[in-house]
Structure 1
Amino acid sequence: MNMNLYGHNNQWLMVDCGVTFRAPLDRVDDQNPSAKLFDMVAPDPLFIENRQENLCGIVITHAHEDHIGAVPALWTKFKCPIYTTRFTAEVLRRKLYMTNIAEQVQIIVVESGQTIDVGPFTITWMAITHSLPDAQALFIQTSVGSIFHTADWKIDFNPITDDAFQPEAFQQLAKLKPTAMVCDSTNALREGYSTSEGDCELGLLRTIQKCENRVIVTCFGSNVARLISLARVAAKTGRYMALLGRSLENMYSIARATAYWPDELKIAHRRDIAYLPKHEVLLVATGSQGEARAALGRLAAANHPDCEAESGDTVIFSSITIPGNEKAIDSMVEKLKSNGLNVIQSNDSEFTIHASGHPNQQDLSDMYAWVSPKVAIPVHGEPEHLKANALIARAQGVPEQLLGLNGDLFQIAPKVKLVERAVKVGRIDITEINQSLRAMR
């Protein structure tokens, strides 16, 4: 879950406002192995809540829940404009529509490549490839220094939903001499370049061509590129594709509303699928992390109201296991296998059936070489990921690397330094806030 604050001249800019799910408020470790889990958890915004009048705006870089999900619950603590691009704006509007504050929130839609002044910050939106449409990096300038904020990204020359990655745009940044680069570290331990979504589509095609009966693919509900790839695979293999799960149906609807969904790719209604021959069916289901109440969990339990999974069908996990979900996924896989279904997981697949949206080591190396910042600030990962990111920056000639924790202050002007524990930080449970906002609606 992401909540970044940039400060200059007693004014603040927030970048992203996200959540995590089924998580503790306290750290889980050997001393606290069984902390209580909460359905929806966000960063504690107390520091900026107490400085609300100095918060100029909120920028949302893309529409993943860990970057956008806390906005409905926390916006009343900030009451400032939100800036984002059109796909992300549509996702946010639909979230807000379910609450009683939808008419209060000012959403300013910006175009990729546009530059806007927000308080003392001059922000340029830069298209960058990720695993859903309209993801943006930010170049944030002030009178004393500048930041290149990558947000979540990867180098992808065949990203399915957006234009191919454009190195030239980031090479041009070096001429502006960025003070610092705040960079995604999620895959900093992985060698080589990240896998393209185009390669994933080819792997899914080869996998599904070998399947004889129904095929059920589970993936992250927000991955529009994966949905488009699967719709193309369905067309090439003579199958009708249907979506099982509200998040998938919502993302499909948003992709159509924002013109990201190709008109020629058709989706069948889930209630019509039961009448088709098994070899003509491709289902895409939520539940890739073993959630019992999601569509795949209901298929495994034989209680889905619209569709069924039978012996001889194939379930494909076009996803990775998020740490902490191992037991739930293993239990789901065993349940499916005991019902006679074939199960293919991404880590033991013959072909590439999942592509991460984050940069591997070579992606990071190239970006540092292109942007050439004075300071590297690795974020978004565990300590070992941050350290690996910093080593890559150093190898590319970045003079300084700042490694810190949540609540640390990274000062980049007038001189570079790290102030540890400058702000008290923590986590809050926002489950009840969201429920009350929707009830009042």
Structure 2
Amino acid sequence: MIETLTNKQALYFIPLGGSEQFGVNLNVYVHAGKMLAVDCGLGFADERFPGIDLLLPDPELLEENRDQLVGMFITHAHEDHIGAVAHLWPRLKCPLYATPFTANILKRKLEENDIKKAKITIVDPAGEIDLGPFSLSFVPVAHSIPDAASVVIRAGGVSALHSGDWNLDPAPVAGAKTDKARFKALCADGVDAYIGDSTNSGVPGRAGSESEVEDGLYSEIAKYHGRIFVTTFSSNIGRLMSIMRAAKLAGRKVAVVGRSMQRMLSAAMECGLISDDVDILDMDAVLKLPDDQVMIICTGSQGEARAALSKIARGDHKAVSTKPGDVVIYSARTIPGNELAINSVKNNLIQAGVRVVTPRDSQHKIHVSGHPCQDEILELWNWVKPRCVIPVHGEREQLDTHAQLARTAQVPNVVVPQNGSVIEITAQGVSIVDHVVTGLLAVDQKRVITAHHRSITARRKLQYTGTAFGSIAVNAKGKMVGDPFLETVGLIDESDDADLKIEDHLYDTMIEAFDDMRAADRKDDGFVAEALRIAVRRKANQILGLRPKTIIHVIRV
């Protein structure tokens, strides 16, 4: 497909993920037959994908043109931007580029997946590199994780600013402030296109500063005498530092639960990002302390079933459990789509006598967003003077709101993409010129499959309809040998006599259907299996109003 993108005075932008949903960010820039990838993140699956926790962007376009892929730059180490690399790199085998902390996390993820041949080049957050026909100039930006960077990409006389995730936090706890001077220097003549974060595009004002959260958390924690649990994103290093400092001010000792959070803290310590005034104890030591001296930081702010807080709320965690008088503080926003899972965790906690505090419940500032609100977006545009705005990183609502903000700000051109849009950026203008097929992949435990894989479709169906399995032995003359077997899953309660009679009816239906067959038809295994399947399924529908997945095995003896 990329061979058709022939305008030598154009830079092409193709979002393969992240422009219709939160997560699974994967972006591609094309010029002179070469490709540059920016970010490769994962998303979290919902109830539409039973048995699946993680979703990935489908890299088919990159895979098919792997020889033309000059590299992949990761803007920062949040999972929605970095989390898919280890799953997809074996398909791409391209050079990887990242700032120091991001590179540390990336190296750990690759090692966990036994990937040893990937080459990671560490770049200066305010440096520059050339990759094939692309010139990349990086800009340090504030975000809820250290070493985040925007990148100005130049090729064919065209410039595009890919913002990544950022905000204008005036006093970040971890990492640098957004470099206004560098933005203005790199974009002194404006940029042909701004490809930017849409997360908070509908939120007026400014996101606030992470430095305010430490005071807010301390004020909230000081109200309670029981044990305190705080949950947040494992990769929010600034927030983890704010929580730990607030705990120290409140006279509490800290333990951390959740492997992903422990890994992030280990990487931050290795990179010298955790200050010396922070102490972390093991869980056994903390649990021996009086309740009013205990602080436990845990993963699970988005209701992830396997995260620490979810296990604790269910009573499934091996090391720690809750008790009446405990307090759980959510120092994180709810990502759209995770509401049901989060509410389930909260309900379990409340039922156990635990007090739950969210940012909406507290009169103190216990969370700020790492993404820019409207005033910050407008301020950055004032620095970089975009001739076109291309909103990404959000659902359609956020993209459209971002686009409307640009129109209100009188940006000359606005192009709202979908995943797969092929956008031609030139000095004369920006427009959608084509479309490529995109999709999602699913991490199914030990394999990666397409999100529309038949196994997932079957599981989804089984969630709602149940299943019936039957077998019947038939000899060469078409006579039944012994008794048939029938078992159902998801249709009856085996402890209920009335329900057992339903299964008996299905069993009798199978026998009657066989008895009603002609002798010649009984010699055809396929005919027997299909006739019995239809009979059992029809009977289940008559009794229960369900059409279960029905499988009948014919054993010829």
* TM norm structure 2: 0.74
> What residue number does 1:183 align with?
196
Aligned positions of 1:216-365 closer than 5 A = 216-365=229-378
Q: Higher relative contact order at CA 8 Å, sep ≥6: structure 1 or structure 2?
A: 1
1:11 aligns with 2:24: no
> What residue number does 1:86 align with?
100
Give me the whole-angstrom Cα distance separating, in 1, the residues matched to 2:444 and 2:266.
25
Percent identity over paired residues: 38
Q: Is the 8 A contact 2:194 2:388 kept in 1?
A: yes
CA distance change for structure 1 residues 276 and 410 in 2, over 3 Å: closer, same or farther? same
1:206 aligns with 2:256: no
- CA deviation profile, 1:321-354 (whole Å, cap 9, x unmatched): 2222222221221221121111101122211111
CA distance change for structure 1 residues 433 and 231 in 2, over 3 Å: closer, same or farther? same
Opposite residue 208 of structure 2, the aligned amino acid is T
Give me the whole-angstrom Cα distance separating, in 2, the residues matched to 1:93 and 1:334.
38
Q: Is the 8 A contact 2:442 2:448 kept in 1?
A: no
Gaps of 5+ in 2: 1-23, 450-557
Q: What's the offset of the Cα at 1:427?
A: 0.8
Q: Is the 8 A contact 2:323 2:352 kept in 1?
A: yes
> What residue number does 1:31 align with?
none
Q: What's the offset of the Cα at 1:238?
A: 0.7
- CA deviation profile, 1:59-92 (whole Å, cap 9, x unmatched): 0000011111111111122211100011111111
Give me the whole-angstrom Cα distance separating, in 2, the residues matched to 1:334 and 1:247.
24
Give me the whole-angstrom Cα distance separating, in 2, the residues matched to 1:297 and 1:2.
26
Opposite residue 63 of structure 2, the aligned amino acid is E
Q: Is the 8 A contact 1:209 1:237 kept in 2?
A: yes
Three-state SS of the structure 1 residue aligned to 2:156 is: coil
1:48 aligns with 2:62: yes
Q: What's the offset of the Cα at 1:417?
A: 3.9
Opposite residue 158 of structure 2, the aligned amino acid is G
- CA deviation profile, 1:230-281 (whole Å, cap 9, x unmatched): 1111111111011011111111101000111112211111121121110000
Give me the whole-angstrom Cα distance separating, in 1, the residues matched to 2:407 and 2:311.
49
> What residue number does 1:160 align with?
173
Give me the whole-angstrom Cα distance separating, in 1, the residues matched to 2:212 and 2:382.
26
Opposite residue 73 of structure 1, the aligned amino acid is H
Three-state SS of the structure 1 residue aligned to 2:304 is: coil
Bigger mean CA deviation after superposition, 342-351 or 216-225: 342-351
Q: Is the 8 A contact 2:46 2:337 kept in 1?
A: no
- 2:119 pairs with one of 92, 97, 106: 106
Q: What's the offset of the Cα at 1:379?
A: 0.8
Give me the whole-angstrom Cα distance separating, in 2, the residues matched to 1:35 and 1:287.
19
CA distance change for structure 1 residues 195 and 434 in 2, over 3 Å: closer, same or farther? farther
Q: CA RMSD in A?
A: 1.8
Q: What's the offset of the Cα at 1:300?
A: 2.1
Bigger mean CA deviation after superposition, 36-45 or 88-97: 36-45
Bigger mean CA deviation after superposition, 424-433 or 336-345: 424-433
Give me the whole-angstrom Cα distance separating, in 1, the residues matched to 2:448 and 2:38.
25
CA distance change for structure 1 residues 262 and 254 in 2, over 3 Å: closer, same or farther? same
Give me the whole-angstrom Cα distance separating, in 1, the residues matched to 2:289 and 2:448.
39
Three-state SS of the structure 1 residue aligned to 2:297 is: strand
CA distance change for structure 1 residues 293 and 10 in 2, over 3 Å: closer, same or farther? closer
Gaps of 5+ in 1: 25-33, 437-441
Give me the whole-angstrom Cα distance separating, in 2, the residues matched to 1:17 and 1:298.
29
Opposite residue 318 of structure 1, the aligned amino acid is S
Q: What's the offset of the Cα at 1:38?
A: 2.5
- 1:74 pairs with one of 88, 96, 100: 88
Give me the whole-angstrom Cα distance separating, in 2, the residues matched to 1:69 and 1:119.
25
Q: Is the 8 A contact 1:23 1:41 kept in 2?
A: no
Opposite residue 22 of structure 1, the aligned amino acid is A
Greater C-alpha radius of gyration: 2
> What residue number does 1:136 align with?
149
1:20 aligns with 2:19: no
Opposite residue 16 of structure 1, the aligned amino acid is D
Bigger mean CA deviation after superposition, 74-83 or 385-394: 385-394
Q: Is the 8 A contact 2:147 2:176 kept in 1?
A: no
Q: Is the 8 A contact 2:234 2:260 kept in 1?
A: yes
Q: What's the offset of the Cα at 1:195?
A: 2.1
Give me the whole-angstrom Cα distance separating, in 2, the residues matched to 1:432 and 1:241.
32
Give me the whole-angstrom Cα distance separating, in 1, the residues matched to 2:223 and 2:376.
33
Q: Is the 8 A contact 1:22 1:37 kept in 2?
A: no
Opposite residue 4 of structure 1, the aligned amino acid is N
Q: Is the 8 A contact 1:364 1:389 kept in 2?
A: no
Q: Which runs of 4+ in 1 moved over 6 A?
A: none
Q: What's the offset of the Cα at 1:432?
A: 4.8
Q: Is the 8 A contact 1:364 1:392 kept in 2?
A: no
Give me the whole-angstrom Cα distance separating, in 2, the residues matched to 1:297 and 1:383.
30
Paired residues, number: 426
Q: Is the 8 A contact 2:196 2:389 kept in 1?
A: yes
Give me the whole-angstrom Cα distance separating, in 2, the residues matched to 1:337 and 1:390.
41
> What residue number does 1:30 align with?
none
Three-state SS of the structure 1 residue aligned to 2:229 is: strand
Q: What's the offset of the Cα at 1:377?
A: 0.8
Three-state SS of the structure 2 residue aligned to 1:291 is: coil
Q: Is the 8 A contact 2:213 2:366 kept in 1?
A: yes
Give me the whole-angstrom Cα distance separating, in 1, the residues matched to 2:349 and 2:49.
29
Q: What's the offset of the Cα at 1:306?
A: 2.3
CA distance change for structure 1 residues 4 and 98 in 2, over 3 Å: closer, same or farther? same
